[in-house]
A and B are shown apart, each in its own frame.
Chain A
Amino acid sequence: MALSPDEVRRIAALAKLRLSPEEETRLAGELSAILDYVRQLEELDVSGVEPMTHALAAGETPFREDAALPCLPPEEALANAPARAGTCFQVPRIIE
């Protein structure tokens, strides 16, 4: 199945990726080839098969108590911020 350039652009927008026209063309081909390959799963009858949504048996991973625990102090949490304003992460203006 071939992905159209439009579809590649639509997915890139969903994924917040800005692709160059060359990347769009290359990815359209590569993704189409991979999707053709994974299509072999259609050979299998999976009716009545439960999806494996958890790798471990129930009960092996208990819930913790719903209690507040210490978290990073603001200065440490902000230490890697590309831009900050006071104790906030700063980003470009959202509302004009």
Chain B
Amino acid sequence: MSLPGILDRSLTDLCRALEEREVSSEEITVASLARIEATDGRLHAFLRVAPERAVAEARASDARRARGEPRSRLDGVPIALKDIFLTKGLETTCGSRILEGFVPPFDATVVERLSAAGAVLLGKLNMDEFAMGSSNENSAFGPCRNPWDLERTPGGSSGGSAASVAARQVFGAFGTDTGGSIRQPASLCGVVGVKPTYGRVSRYGVIAFASSLDQVGPIARTVPDAAALLGAVAGHDPRDQTSSTLPVPDYLAGLEGGARGLRIGVPREWLQGGSEAGVERRVREALAAYEAMGATLVDVELPHSKYGVAAYYLVAPAEASSNLARYDGVRFGLRAPARTLGDMYGETRDRGFGAEPKRRIMLGTYALSAGYYDAYYLRAQKVRTLVRRDFDRAFERCDLVAGPVSPTVAFRLGEKVADPLQMYLADVFTISCNLAALPGLSVPAGLHPESGLPIGLQLVGRPFDESTLLRAARALEREMGPAPAPGAIG
């Protein structure tokens, strides 16, 4: 296998090449670093590249291979992480000025598990500040751009993760998804993004945004790649109180099982003109492809999904206002000089937080404040129950539901920044999956007929049934053929 052509190959292919010693981890790591060097000035997917550390890890991986002791199939594979995962000894900012210079004293469980599998960490990826946003424009360190069109956003909040994987800088990445933050950027960048069931992947050492919704997941160029990455990190962690003890299946085992016999629910509410025409057309074509492959389409109803955005924008800010209370200048991160403790808190938080975290802290504080709790937060929690019941009812008649991920293709930088509510509505199809704590993913479903920008199909499944989602996504991927590469960065 030739360098740098190998950068275009899948993570799965790279694992095979490493195993057969066609390429060394050091060679592929150096090639990936060179690719980042050549492209990231324009893309800005990375907040921090760690070349020395990466090359040292790669050499250690090659030494293990030489001894015949690889840690896993992923040993030596270059990956990168959204800058929300704590990495011991490597600065972690969560896209915020308030954490600039913060060097974590420990690793997130996900980081520990990837390290135990031998993966090589190239660096930390750009994101909306505290994962709040749908365009990566809320990053305090400047936006990431979409490798399909540099004037457009990659989506968010895991925009750097999706853009980097799409641009062939890394073979896979991890992001987090609170209301669509893995699936929407994956859709807008033409890659695969998986949000597992709440509780499937540990949140220990993942900077918290909305604790009852946050979930970690992989972004990769193919479904088998994503399945391999998910398998490496999933499973119980005693350090995360909401981590499930259910056993983790082998996500690669049934992956090639095809779509025959699957009952795919098509929620009426997700396909009634809420998306631009090109998106709806590709989604309908994907559904037709499933039918041709032997799946059955079933009409289902999710009558409360239209209330999802409203419920989300009470639950998520309420939890965020509580989680972000820890950034007070006392123990880590930014501290503004001040004469009194009260002034220190106020000045630190004023200087450290950008507009979106402030907006959400204000909204959440209001929704939780005396006299408003029942009307806002409690009511929103009850609506979550209704959203979940809709899915439970649908899953009596189907194995998964399918629809669009994003109502539009990648939008232009600046297009939605002036109107927070319009930005929030970018997540209209992804939010109910988080509210219901279900697994969901985005898989490429072709390009927009006019703009040529990528469009993702969303699949949402039963709790802890990631396997069925991955199998269905793989069937579509095989049917569509290799997903095209973005052309804007060469």
Query: Nearest Cβ in chain B — how far from A90, in angstroms?
Result: 9
Asked whether B341 is an interface residue with its Cβ less than 8 Å from the other chain, the reply is: yes
Residue-wise, chain B 409-428 has the 8 Å CB interface mask toward A (1 for contact) of: 00000000000110010000
Are the C-beta atoms of A40 and B341 separated by less than 8 Å?
A: no
Asked whether B365 is an interface residue with its Cβ less than 8 Å from the other chain, the reply is: yes
Please judge, given known A-B contacts A46-B382, A83-B335, whether A64 and B238 are in contact too, CB under 8 Å. yes
Which among B242, B325, B378 is the interface contact of A61 at CB below 8 angstroms?
A: B242
Are the C-beta atoms of A46 and B383 separated by less than 8 Å?
A: yes
Least CB separation from B327: chain A residue: A16
Are the C-beta atoms of A18 and B350 separated by less than 8 Å?
A: yes
Are the C-beta atoms of A92 and B340 separated by less than 8 Å?
A: yes
Query: Nearest Cβ in chain B — how far from A42, in angstroms?
Result: 8
Are the C-beta atoms of A17 and B307 separated by less than 8 Å?
A: no
Residues from chain B with Cβ under 8 Å of A33 in the complex:
420-421
Are the C-beta atoms of A46 and B199 separated by less than 8 Å?
A: no
Are the C-beta atoms of B366 and A41 separated by less than 8 Å?
A: no
Are the C-beta atoms of B102 and A60 separated by less than 8 Å?
A: no
Within 8 A of A (CB), among B255-311: 304, 307, 309-311
Query: Nearest Cβ in chain B — how far from A11, in angstroms?
Result: 5
Are the C-beta atoms of A8 and B102 separated by less than 8 Å?
A: no
Residues from chain B with Cβ under 8 Å of A14 in the complex:
365, 369
The interface on chain A, measured as residues whose beta carbon lies within 8 A of the other chain's beta carbons, has a size of 51
Residues from chain A with Cβ under 8 Å of B421 in the complex:
33-34, 37
Complex Cα spacing A49 to B379, Å: 9
Please judge, given known A-B contacts A31-B359, A37-B421, A72-B106, whether A61 and B366 are in contact too, CB under 8 Å. no
Within 8 A of B (CB), among A1-45: 3, 8, 11-12, 14-20, 23, 27, 30-31, 33-35, 37-42, 44
Are the C-beta atoms of A11 and B381 separated by less than 8 Å?
A: no
Asked whether A86 is an interface residue with its Cβ less than 8 Å from the other chain, the reply is: no
Least CB separation from A81: chain B residue: B331
Asked whether B235 is an interface residue with its Cβ less than 8 Å from the other chain, the reply is: no
Within 8 A of A (CB), among B87-128: 102-103, 105-106
Binds A, one of B12-20, B35-43, B384-392: B384-392
Are the C-beta atoms of B385 and A61 separated by less than 8 Å?
A: no
Complex Cα spacing A21 to B439, Å: 43
Query: Nearest Cβ in chain B — how far from A68, in angstroms?
Result: 14
Residue-wise, chain B 348-388 has the 8 Å CB interface mask toward A (1 for contact) of: 01100100001101110110010000001011111111101
Which among A11, A19, A52, A61 is the interface contact of B369 at CB below 8 angstroms?
A: A11
Complex Cα spacing A82 to B241, Å: 30
Are the C-beta atoms of A91 and B330 separated by less than 8 Å?
A: yes
Asked whether A94 is an interface residue with its Cβ less than 8 Å from the other chain, the reply is: yes
Please judge, given known A-B contacts A34-B363, A56-B244, A61-B245, whether A72 and B105 are in contact too, CB under 8 Å. yes
Query: Nearest Cβ in chain B — how far from A56, in angstroms?
Result: 5
Are the C-beta atoms of A49 and B362 separated by less than 8 Å?
A: no
Asked whether A85 is an interface residue with its Cβ less than 8 Å from the other chain, the reply is: no
Besides the contacts A46-B382, A50-B385, what 19 more A-B pairs have beta carbons closer than 8 Å? A11-B366, A16-B345, A16-B349, A18-B350, A19-B358, A34-B313, A34-B363, A38-B376, A49-B382, A50-B382, A51-B384, A52-B435, A56-B199, A61-B244, A72-B105, A82-B334, A92-B338, A92-B341, A94-B340
| 12 A-B pairs whose Cβ atoms sit less than 8 Å apart in the complex | A17-B346, A30-B359, A34-B363, A34-B424, A37-B309, A38-B310, A40-B310, A51-B381, A56-B242, A60-B199, A60-B246, A92-B338
Q: Which 6 A-B pairs have the closest CB atoms?
A: A51-B381, A18-B346, A82-B335, A80-B332, A55-B437, A52-B384
